[in-house]
């Protein structure tokens, strides 16, 4: 059984190293899992379509760009559901996506779609950030059951 995880804590304690170790372990040992590493410091991840294209570039998912944010999200959901493998997305520096300056691209609908996919069993996220998700996502999530409540939280793990 796969489950999503958030790893957060102060700088330089090994969060990214731990996530990268698990990412490489998945790539080497699990043929039924498509492991994808995304570093949000990459300028291409600033837009929703750029984020999904980055995932496509690093995987075999058959994602097709959309003309709108809604179409991009819908196409990503279709790509995940139609994949023959489970997808594990490792997102380093996740707080860069949740920056208030990117709220127009990464809005509540984006997070709710990730949450929905995470509950279906073919998609997991490993999110690495300095701050807890409830803090870095609070400006965009006005929902009673936020997307991050499906994740196991590892905080200050060292």
Residue 152 has pLDDT above 90, yes or no: no
Residues 6+ apart with CB under 8 A from 136: 94, 95, 98, 129
Q: Which of 23, 18, 43, 156 lies closest to 97, judged by CA?
A: 43
- Give the chain's radius of gyration (CA, Å): 15
With 0-12 / 13-18 / 19 or more C-beta atoms within 10 angstroms meaning exposed / middle / buried, residue 131 is middle
> How many whole angstroms separate alpha carbon 84 and alpha carbon 105?
28
The side-by-side arrangement of strands in the sheet containing 33-39 is 33-39, 86-92, 123-129, 5-8, 152-155
Count the Cβ atoms, other than its own, within 10 Å of residue 46. Answer: 16
pLDDT tens for 91-144 read 999 998 888 888 888 888 888 899 899 989 899 999 999 988 878 877 666 654
The alpha carbon of residue 78 and the mean position of all alpha carbons in its chain are separated, in whole angstroms, by 16
Task: Determine what percent of the chain is predicted with pLDDT higher than 70.
Answer: 86
Q: Which of 141, 132, 138 lies closest to 9, judged by CA?
A: 132
Task: Determine what percent of the chain is predicted with pLDDT higher than 90.
Answer: 53
Q: Is 134 helix (H, G, I), strand (E, B) or coil?
A: helix
Q: What is the DSSP letter of 140?
A: T
> How many whole angstroms separate alpha carbon 61 and alpha carbon 21?
22
> How many whole angstroms separate alpha carbon 33 and alpha carbon 102?
30
> How many whole angstroms separate alpha carbon 91 and alpha carbon 88?
10
Whole-model pTM: value is 0.86
- The predicted pLDDT at position 144 comes to 46
């Amino acid at each position: 059984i796969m489950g999503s995880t958030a790893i957060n804590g102060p700088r330089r304690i090994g969060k990214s190293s731990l996530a990268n170790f698990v990412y490489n372990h998945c790539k080497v040992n699990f043929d039924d899992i498509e492991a994808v590493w995304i570093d949000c410091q990459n300028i291409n991840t600033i837009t929703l379509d750029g984020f999904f294209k980055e995932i496509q570039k690093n995987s075999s998912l058959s994602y097709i760009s959309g003309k709108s944010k809604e179409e991009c999200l819908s196409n990503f959901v279709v790509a995940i559901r139609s994949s023959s493998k489970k997808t594990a997305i490792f997102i380093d520096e996740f707080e860069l996506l949740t920056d208030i300056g990117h709220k127009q691209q990464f809005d509540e609908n984006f997070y709710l779609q990730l949450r929905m996919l995470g509950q279906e069993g073919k998609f997991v996220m490993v999110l690495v950030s300095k701050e807890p998700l409830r803090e870095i996502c609070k400006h965009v999530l006005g929902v009673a059951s936020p997307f991050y409540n499906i994740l196991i939280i590892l905080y200050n793990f060292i």
